[in-house]
Copies of this chain bind each other. A is one copy, B any other.
Amino acid sequence: MVDIATRVWNHKWKIDPIVRSLIDNDFYKLLMCQSVFRNKSDATVTFSLINRSKDIRTADLIDEGELREQLDHIRSLSLTRGESTFLRGNTFYGKRQMFRPDFMEWFDNLRLPDYHLEKRDGQYELTFEGKWHEVMLWEIPALAVLMELRGRAVLHDMRRFELQVLYARAMTKLWQKIEHLREVPDLRIADFGTRRRHSYLWQDWCVQAMHEGLGDKFVGTSNCLIAMKRDIEAIGTNAHELPMVYAALAPDDDALARAPYQVLSDWQEEHDGNLRIILPDTYGTEGFLKNAPDWLAGWTGIRIDSGDPATAAEVAIKWWQDRGEDPRRKLIIFSDGLDVQKIVELQSQFAGRAKISFGWGTLLTNDFRGLTEHDALAPFSLVCKAIKADGYPTVKLSDNPNKAMGPMDQIDRYKRVFGVGEQKRMEVIV
């Protein structure tokens, strides 16, 4: 029986919104947002969408009107009473009131600032400029909108059973991975796939399938809304934008060299336990660890997000040993370009030598490779990065020069300041 009212209501929607909540966002964006809100509330930052996959011509694939409608819809969102209650009342990482009253009061009244959109060379140039703690919340929704609109463009001409089979194949593919992962002893794995997901509904499916299929091996999702709706742990740590902006704001080379540690010092004031995770690769992992203050070795763990993950993990283990720490009590979180084979390899290589955890991103929530003609739904390498802070360009070196960004002269300066030598180029899959 058709519920007539529901049907009529559904047809009244002008668009099918991709992002329907301000907390359909990575949990670590909220953690970082609070940190920025408290420590750098004056900084003006520009975020910009960057498509590393130049062959995917987003401006040809996606209608500008539709894109604007989706972005405008996001600007109309504000925190709902239930979402606010969840953030205020929930226990995150064993701690109540993770989000402080002054931050929540600000967040309750937040609407996202305006965006700037242009087309150039078949690509959209999408930028967000404003207070850092406001524009930073655009990153994930902007990426999710671009990725899902591109998907919708491809799905548009598919027929009914063709569509159902497409999703059946995607489900089958993911489940096969889950069945494989189920056999990995002591696995701990989380969803980190919001930013480049195929779609919201698909991410929601993937998270639930992981939850049922992996049981205790599945430790949570980075998506705050899905965590709330599915009663799953919300997890996350911190990202490159913190050192990148701190570094850009540094007045001289000395301050620049200290900036990445200043980030963690600010962070340490706010968070303990599993939130004290070092992200060492922004300006080269090796130099970062070598020059790190001793207190950093006391942190809970490290997240490895570029370069060869096994090499980086060995570097971290060695570093802990050198600093008199027992690596077996430390957590290594792998989060770069993971898929099952790599996860299994890394787990077997490092199990017993450290605590191991995986943040599985794009190839969890968007592995539509091989499922359509011309691979039109394969994920591509879209990022949204802070490119300027108070007028100064930001720089990222990473452990993989293919992930580096910033003006050439600044890259050279950063390399010099952080003592980064020759780096190995690695293909960026997603």
A residues lining the B interface (CB < 8 Å): 1, 3, 5-6, 9, 159-162, 164-165, 167-169, 171-172, 175, 208-209, 212-213
Contact = CB atoms under 8 A, between A and B. Distances in A.
A352 to B, nearest CB: 31
B161 A172 contact: no
A167 B165 contact: no
7 nearest A-B residue pairs (beta carbon): A168-B168, A168-B171, A3-B3, A165-B175, A161-B212, A161-B209, A1-B6
7 contacts: A1-B3, A3-B3, A165-B171, A165-B175, A168-B169, A168-B175, A172-B172
State the copy count for this chain: 2
Contacts of A213: 161-162
Contact of A212 (B6, B162, B171): B162
Contact of A6 (B3, B9, B164): B3
Contacts of A209: 161, 165
Contacts of A160: 212
Contacts of A1: 3, 5-6, 9
A208 to B, nearest CB: 6
A9 B1 CA distance: 10
Contacts of A212: 159-162
Contacts of A6: 1, 3
Given A164-B171, A165-B175, A165-B209, 5 more contacts: A159-B212, A161-B175, A167-B168, A168-B171, A168-B175
A161 B230 CA distance: 14
Contacts of A162: 212-213
A3 B175 CA distance: 32
A5 to B, nearest CB: 7
Contact of A169 (B5, B164, B172, B208): B172
Contacts of A175: 161, 165, 168-169
A5 B160 CA distance: 29
Contacts of A164: 171
A163 to B, nearest CB: 10
Nearest to A4: B3
Nearest to A6: B1
A297 B242 CA distance: 86
A47 B171 CA distance: 43
A3 B4 CA distance: 9
A108 to B, nearest CB: 27
A65 B162 CA distance: 40
A180 to B, nearest CB: 14
A208 B168 contact: no
A169 to B, nearest CB: 5
Contacts of A161: 175, 208-209, 212-213
Nearest to A1: B6
A5 B9 CA distance: 19
